């Protein structure tokens, strides 16, 4: 499985300057290349290389490989859209490859700058035991909030899948971000509070509309996004850990179905907004695969209207948003727990040794 990993870099002062200078020079070169591309209508990598290579080498004093990367960046950008001239930001990403970036140890890289190669310390989060030989192709050097990062694509081997003896169903929702068929509820309460806090702040800043308030606005939307991401990470981690500890697979609803088959009152939806369900689903998927846990995507149809005890499907089973009350067998249960049990059953039917009832 290919994963993109964000690594934080710890350059010393001299190295930081060198990186920044390299980034600026690289993007100046990109703009020169982009102008040539636009003026001559030459958008392909090879064609551009023929026209600009020597000029760029000389004018910007970049290494051969960096010139090739700059041409690549421009060509890639025009490949997506040829209808207008593309301008590159002063601190836009540099794409590195193995010839100009190498991993020396698990926490040190050697990277080419205008000052020559520099050895810089790196740190990354949860994928500690990383085999650097698995780093695939390119890495993007990015600069954000005065910090340098490398975005590296790594090929992580899939673990051998366990032979599960059950399935944890996971229902993803708006009021409760995730609910498992074990009855564990990851509530959105804290998230709602934080969101409301941010939306009040945003409204105030938007009404002010000055340069600094716009800047602040951008900052808090970044903070909000990171908060969601962290929350999704934590939830996915906890669920996969439970699956591992209890030797069970995981079932989730097919992601495309999530937002459409939920009946949530409008006030709740406005208050909470769109939670990043796709993100949570994706985190669950890759964390499960890394841990060797099979993960099934099941058909979400009627999971919230079906009684998990007798199987009777009726929209009247849902008297309120939070409760299921079966009109046939009178079973009563938290609606999200009931839905996650249905998801679990549908997952069980996908097991290799599935029961006859499937």
Which residues of the chain form contacts with Zn ion (CB under 5 A)? 307, 309-310, 312, 326, 328-329, 331
- Residue closer to Zn ion by CB (options 239, 339) is 339
- Residue closer to Zn ion by CB (options 18, 324) is 324
- Residue closer to Zn ion by CB (options 278, 333) is 333
For the bound state, the minimum distance from the C-beta of residue 306 to Zn ion, rounded and expressed in Å, comes to 9
Helix (H), strand (E) counts: the chain: 8, 14
State the Cα angle at 52 between 46 and 54, rounded to 5°.
Answer: 110
- For residue 327, how many other CB atoms are within 10 A of its CB? 13
For the bound state, the minimum distance from the C-beta of residue 309 to Zn ion, rounded and expressed in Å, comes to 5
For the bound state, the minimum distance from the C-beta of residue 183 to Zn ion, rounded and expressed in Å, comes to 18
For the bound state, the minimum distance from the C-beta of residue 122 to Zn ion, rounded and expressed in Å, comes to 55
- Contact of 118 with 145, CB cutoff 8 Å: no
- Residue closer to Zn ion by CB (options 271, 325) is 325
Could you tell me the strand order of the sheet in which 249-253 lies?
Answer: 185-187, 176-180, 167-172, 249-253, 295-298
Rounded to 10°, the helix 189-208/211-245 angle is 170
For the bound state, the minimum distance from the C-beta of residue 313 to Zn ion, rounded and expressed in Å, comes to 10
For the bound state, the minimum distance from the C-beta of residue 274 to Zn ion, rounded and expressed in Å, comes to 32
**CA-derived radius of gyration, the chain:** 26
- Residue closer to Zn ion by CB (options 169, 188) is 169
- Residue closer to Zn ion by CB (options 34, 317) is 317
For the bound state, the minimum distance from the C-beta of residue 318 to Zn ion, rounded and expressed in Å, comes to 12
- Residue closer to Zn ion by CB (options 10, 312) is 312
- Contact of 319 with 325, CB cutoff 8 Å: yes
State the Cα angle at 80 between 255 and 229, rounded to 5°.
Answer: 35
Phi, psi of 239 (to 5 degrees): -70, -45
- Residue closer to Zn ion by CB (options 31, 304) is 304
Nearest alpha-carbon partner for 346 in 274, 295, 283: 295
- Residue closer to Zn ion by CB (options 201, 309) is 309
For the bound state, the minimum distance from the C-beta of residue 92 to Zn ion, rounded and expressed in Å, comes to 58
Q: Enumerate the β-bridge partners of residue 102.
A: 110
Nearest alpha-carbon partner for 127 in 156, 102, 98, 92: 156
Q: Which residues of 182-206 are buried (b: 16+ CB within 10 A; e: fewer)?
A: bebbbebeebbebbeebeeeeeebe
Nearest alpha-carbon partner for 345 in 179, 177, 170, 162: 170
For the bound state, the minimum distance from the C-beta of residue 5 to Zn ion, rounded and expressed in Å, comes to 47
């Amino acid at each position: 499985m290919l994963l993109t990993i964000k690594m934080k870099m710890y350059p010393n002062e001299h190295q930081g300057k060198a990186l920044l200078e390299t980034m600026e020079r690289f993007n100046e070169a990109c703009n020169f290349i982009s102008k040539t591309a636009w003026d001559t209508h030459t958008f392909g990598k090879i064609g551009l290389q023929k026209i600009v290579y020597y000029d760029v080498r000389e004018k910007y004093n970049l290494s051969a490989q960096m010139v090739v990367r700059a041409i690549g960046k421009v060509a890639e950008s025009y490949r997506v859209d040829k209808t207008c001239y593309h301008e590159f930001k002063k601190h836009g990403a540099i794409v590195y490859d193995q010839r100009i970036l190498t991993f020396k140890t698990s926490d040190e890289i050697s990277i080419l700058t205008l000052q020559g190669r520099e050895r810089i310390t790196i740190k990354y989060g949860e994928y500690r035991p990383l085999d650097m030989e698995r780093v695939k192709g390119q890495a993007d050097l990015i600069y954000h909030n005065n910090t340098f990062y490398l975005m590296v694509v790594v090929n992580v081997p899939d673990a051998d899948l366990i032979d599960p003896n059950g399935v944890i169903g996971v229902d993803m929702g708006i009021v409760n971000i995730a609910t498992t068929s074990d009855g564990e509820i990851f509530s959105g309460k804290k998230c709602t509070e934080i969101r409301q806090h941010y939306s009040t702040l945003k409204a105030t800043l938007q009404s002010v509309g000055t340069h600094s308030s716009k800047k602040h606005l951008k900052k808090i939307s970044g903070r909000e996004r990171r908060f969601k991401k962290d929350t999704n990470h934590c939830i996915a981690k906890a669920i996969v850990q439970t699956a591992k500890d209890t030797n069970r697979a995981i079932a989730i609803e097919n992601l495309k179905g999530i937002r459409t088959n939920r009946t949530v009152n409008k006030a709740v939806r406005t208050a909470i907004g769109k939670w990043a369900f796709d993100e949570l689903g994706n985190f669950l998927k890759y964390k499960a695969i890394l841990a060797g846990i099979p993960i099934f995507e099941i058909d979400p149809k009627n999971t919230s209207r079906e009684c998990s005890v007798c199987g009777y499907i009726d929209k009247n089973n849902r008297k309120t948003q939070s409760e299921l009350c079966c009109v046939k067998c009178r079973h009563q249960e938290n609606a999200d727990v009931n839905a996650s049990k249905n998801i679990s059953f549908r997952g069980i039917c996908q097991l290799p040794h599935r029961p006859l009832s499937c």
